[in-house]
Amino acid sequence: MATSSTGFSGQGLRRLREVLAGHVESRKIPGLVALVSRGGHSHVEALGTMRHDGGAPMRRDTIFRMASTSKPVTMAAAMVLLDECRLRLDDPVDPWLPELADRRVLKRPDGPLDDTVPALRPITVRDLLTSTFGLGVDFESMASPIRAATFERLDYSVASGPAPDPDEWMRRLGELPLQYQPGVRWQYDLSNEVAGVLVSRVTGQTLETFLRERILDPLGMNDTAFHVPADKIDRLPPLYGPDPQTGEFTVWDQAAGGRSSTPPAFQGAGGGLVSTADDYHSYFRMLLNHGMHGSERILSRTAVELMTTNRLSPGQQAARDTMFSGVAHLSCGQGTSGGWGFGMAVRTARSDYAPIGQYGWFGGTGTTAYADPANQLTGILLTQLGLSTPDSPRAMNDFWTTLYQAID
């Protein structure tokens, strides 16, 4: 590759491959797919195998469970509704989500569930999109009664089993008090799931149907969905969660017959997508192009700006920084660099090789995807190795370190 035409140095791309190959050759990551692009040119590495014990090689079109890397894509559906004035940021969500009307709020975040006061105001669309509606994962209160109750009623991870349909899921959510007053504190994940239900109820369509019509199909994201159909299941690797003590590979989810092989009752906007490196490249290039895909506008320029700039107040951001500081050892710095837009992190501080303004997110299945407007750069690294050990986060960290060194 000539450096003048790609924006990367040939030596830098060779070094990127060597570093990623080292993670595969260590036998701690079975295989991976990496895509980097700059200035309209992309470079792809597919290394290793689909299974830890060998077999079919990783390919450019391998399909991955994106986990929380789903968030930047699914939140685009809500942005379409904002563009069309079918939603407004400061409107209460009560008309569409009556389960969240007349909320009670815990007097203390770690207090008993029946010790509550009335919410000071309704939950708004903005609260959901900024992850500040009052409930969610809070790494500082993992042992609290509200965390246990939320996990029991609403979790649909591999360990918990599949979620019910959206109406039943919302009914269960409506039984819980909020941990914080609406708009006060950033908390992780749950708000994105609620936002997905909101999109479905506003449009009268399933989240996937609306997302496909307005985002996925126009961008040619043909392999992005909430499950993998039978004619593509050979492109889906198993999902592994290594034993934290021994490193032994444990299968969290098989391909054929696994959870991703059938349509889910609950289409989880927070972490339910499957996709490919090229599909995600198409999406993040659209964001870098201010909402345009070729000659077609997908999102307004201002919608993209809202999504990809920090939306947190200083107080909200300070609490988020404190919350993530306790888990940085596991995420190797992923997501700990400051702000939050709509469905994704936004770097507000120069903490490593990536500059201020970079946006995107990572996932618990070993996936990461970010775009960098300053360098017109997109980076995507996909594995199927869960965060039960630091191996996939370390690969993510090394990917970003070597990618930024490869810029010409």
Total residue count of the chain as it appears in this document: 408
d(CA 107, CA 125) in angstroms, rounded, equals 24
Indicate the Cα dihedral angle 380, 384, 387, 393, nearest 10°: -30
pLDDT given for residue 322 in this prediction? 79
Cβ-Cβ contacts under 8 Å for 31 (sequence gap 6 or more): 24, 46, 47, 48, 49, 50, 57, 58, 62, 237, 383
For residue 341 the two structure tokens come to 């837009």
Computed on alpha carbons and rounded to an integer, the radius of gyration of the chain in Å comes to 20
pLDDT value at residue 310: 96
Q: What is the mean pLDDT of each run of 10 residues along the chain (408 residues)?
A: 68 98 96 95 97 95 97 98 98 98 97 97 98 91 90 82 92 97 95 98 98 98 98 97 92 95 96 98 98 97 98 89 68 68 93 92 95 97 94 94 95
Burial class (CB in 10 A: 0-12, 13-18, 19+), 297: middle
pLDDT at residue number 328: 57
Spatial neighbors of 229 by CB under 8 A, at least 6 apart, are: none
Q: List, for residues 345-369, the tens digit of each pLDDT value.
A: 999 988 889 999 999 999 999 999 9
Predicted local confidence at residue 375, as pLDDT: 96
End-to-end CA distance of the chain: 12
